Amino acid sequence: MSLYWRIFLLNAAVLVVAVLLLFGPVTVSTPVLFGEALVLLCGLVAMLVANAVLLRIGLAPLQRLTRAMATADLLRPGRRPRVTGRGEIAELTETFNSMLDRLETERATSSGRVLSALEAERHRIARELHDEVGQTLTAVLLQLKHAADRVPEPVRADLRQAQETTRAGLDEIGRIARRLRPGVLEELGLHSALRSLVAEFTTPRLGVSAHITPGLPALTPATELVLYRVAQEGLTNAARHAGATRVALHLRPRPGGGVVLLVHDDGRGVGAAPEGAGIQGMRERALLIGAELSIAPGAAGGTDVRLTVAPTDTAAHTHTDTGENAR
């Protein structure tokens, strides 16, 4: 029965009962007596209450669907409103769930294309920084050294300072290129890449430690890249925004298969601040391999960034890496 007819028949039943009461024990005289007015008023209140209760029961599934629509988030997949009963509301709920399935699939596919293009652009920029800007600065450094060996002593000190400034700029370009294109990940693997990342973020003000459990399962290159980028973003947030003094990076096998990456800091915590582009990017990368990302306060304070990769994710998304390598 459609929602329209259910509401109509419920209201009709209440009104029919009220009319039968008027033909039965309840009568109205002219002028209306106080007792009769009181009975009619009580009857009206009873009809309104009964109508409100019946409508509340009948429209409860629609309210649940409305809340699900308002809270739907494609970056947090898997949440679906429960389908109850039969009729138009149940059909509407099933249609909404099917729409979410399609949108999540399309979002994951489009995110994969965007992230693949982003990685290709990172590689191009890193290559140009290394090949073009790096070589130019190297040539400038050699020219400064050549000039410093042939000028008087007062000018030589200035040229030596220019050499140091150029050398510092060359080192900074190298660091930027390594962040854009993790060559160590491709050449030495995930373990060495994460330890190199930890060493890069370690400073006198920020202590970063890596705890990588031996015996990790085999991971696809796409999964390793996502793990590296999430770790990189988690360390970046801890260093720039959390006000942390200690950060611990854990990578361990997951019971039943898969792996878990955890980046814990002792900073001020996430609070009620809205998620920025960095966290949104981590969620999109997690969707790319079907992993689950959670960002929550730590048990002892600070923030826990946890990426859980299921065992099926390491094999089911091999085609994603193939597409990235082809690009």
Q: What string of DSSP letters covers 139-169?
A: HHHHHHHHHHTSS-HHHHHHHHHHHHHHHHH
Burial of 289 (0-12, 13-18, 19+ CB in 10 A): buried
Q: Which residue carries 């990426």 as its tokens?
A: 307
CA distance to 21, 43, 210, 229, per residue, from 39 (Å): 11, 6, 78, 73
Enumerate domains of the chain plus CATH numbers.
Answer: 3-68+86-107 (no CATH), 189-327 (3.30.565.10)
Distance in angstroms (rounded) separating the CA atoms of residues 268 and 241: 9
DSSP 253: E
**Would you state the pLDDT for residue 231?**
92
Q: What's the pTM value of the predicted model, to 2 decimals?
A: 0.59
Residue range 86-111, pLDDT digits in tens: 677 778 888 888 888 888 777 777 76
As given in the structure block, the two tokens for residue 53 are 């209760």
Spell out the alpha helix ranges (H) of the chain. Answer: 3-23, 34-71, 88-128, 134-148, 153-180, 183-188, 190-201, 221-240, 277-288, 313-316, 318-326
Q: What is the pLDDT along the chain (327 residues), one digit of tens a residue?
A: 666 677 777 777 777 777 666 666 556 666 767 776 787 778 778 877 877 777 777 777 777 777 777 777 666 666 777 777 667 777 888 888 888 888 877 777 776 677 677 777 777 887 777 777 878 888 888 888 888 878 777 788 888 888 888 888 888 887 777 777 777 777 788 888 899 889 988 988 889 999 999 888 888 888 888 898 899 889 988 888 888 889 999 999 988 888 999 999 988 877 666 677 788 888 888 887 888 888 888 887 889 999 999 886 444 443 344 333 333
Q: Cβ neighbours of residue 47 under 8 Å, at least 6 residues apart?
A: 14, 15, 18
Strands 246-253 and 207-212: parallel
**Would you state the pLDDT for residue 85?**
65
